[in-house]
Amino acid sequence: MRGGGIEDVAATCALASSRRHAYKARSKRKRRPVSSPSDSLPLRHALLALAVTAVWGSNFVVIHIGLSHLPPLLFASLRFLCSLLPAVLILKRPAVPWRNLAGYGLLVGAGQFGVLYIAMNGLVTPGLASLVIQTQVFFTIGLAMAISGERVRPFQVVALLITLAGLAIILVHTDGATTPLGIVLVLIAAAAWAGSNIVVRATPAADMLAYVVWASLFSLPPLLALSLAFEGWPAIRDGLIQADAATWGAVLWQAVGNTLFGFATWSWLLARHPVATVAPMALLVPVFGIGASVLWLGEPLQDWKLTAAGLVMAGLALNLLWPRLAGRRAPRMSSVR
């Protein structure tokens, strides 16, 4: 999928219903028994979901490693180059308009990851970046409501206020490792991610793995152009010369681990289980992000950071889980009456 390392959670959730129907239809054609979706994940499937969230969460530390030698826009360019090749030669282009692929590719490439990598190049810690980028959930809701004219629901207002309280704590405690500019840049990246979610909602039946690969055609050129314009050929040349095995491993992790493995596995799970069963696992992404940054990079874990993380996570959990809890409560209340 597409997050810093976690870019694909919301987009794939939006497509889950159609993917499950397609899966059932294919199974019937093959005359194989189809198990009905369950409210709980089998152990093997739960472990797969856990592996994906661990990959997406730890990805922010991997980005930090890659930025030690590569300029941010060049790093983002290499990410999408490896996501594109050789997969584009194997996967058939999804049956969606070129303008849709272009819009998604631009938003995810230059908008999300280009800006995120710039922010993580000394302006925000990996742990906090993995947390703040999750505000894309609320940007997505806001854009969807602005486009469709839907009214905001009370629980969404409460969830947003709780999350904003966590962000306010982060802004108050900015220092040399995390700056206000870094937080703003991550919020811009989150808004671009939300925009890509809106674009992808127009193609609910697309093969999303192929969609991500082919959209990389439109992510790569602007990132390369921006890298040449703002980072310059000398910085690009020096970055490529100085890149070591860890740097190239970080690039491959972005493309193969984070995008291809993560997205393919998450889509596979969503095709077989209800969204409400799989999606809450995504709340573990910032947990793994902060934990990996603390363990591998020694990022300090002060009380204020724990409080901010708790508030942001509480807001995200409320927004994600409240409809499911309310849906379970309604039949019980009806039976009581």
Dist. CA 74–CA 228, nearest whole Å: 8
Q: What is the rounded CA–CA span in Å between residue 180 and residue 114?
A: 18
Of 96-105, 200-209, 232-241, where does mean pLDDT reach its minimum?
Answer: 200-209
pLDDT: which is higher, 187 or 3: 187
Query: How many whole angstroms separate alpha carbon 264 and alpha carbon 245?
Result: 26
Give the pLDDT confidence score for residue 27 in this predicted structure.
Answer: 46
Does 285 have pLDDT greater than 90? no
pLDDT digits over 58-94, tens only?
A: 999 999 999 999 999 999 999 999 999 999 999 999 9
- Written as one letter, the residue type at 126 is P
Residues belonging to the chain: 337
* Pair 156, 298: CB distance under 8 Å: no
**The pLDDT value given to residue 14:** 47
Domains of the chain, residue spans: 9-18+42-324
What's the average model confidence in pLDDT over 134-153?
Answer: 82
How many angstroms separate the CA atoms of 309 and 330, rounded?
Answer: 31
Residue 166 contacts residue 312 (beta carbons within 8 Å): yes
Q: How far apart are CA 235 and CA 246, in angstroms?
A: 19
Q: Per-residue pLDDT tens for 185-203? A: 999 999 998 898 888 878 8
The three-state secondary structure class of 96 is coil
The answer to whether residues 61 and 123 touch, using CB atoms and an 8 Å cutoff, is no
Distance CA 72, CA 234 (A): 14
Q: What is the mean pLDDT of residues 223-228?
A: 97
- pLDDT of res. 271: 64
User: How large is the average pLDDT for residues 162-183?
Assistant: 87
The predicted pLDDT at position 7 comes to 46
Mean pLDDT of the chain: 83
Average pLDDT (140-149) is 82
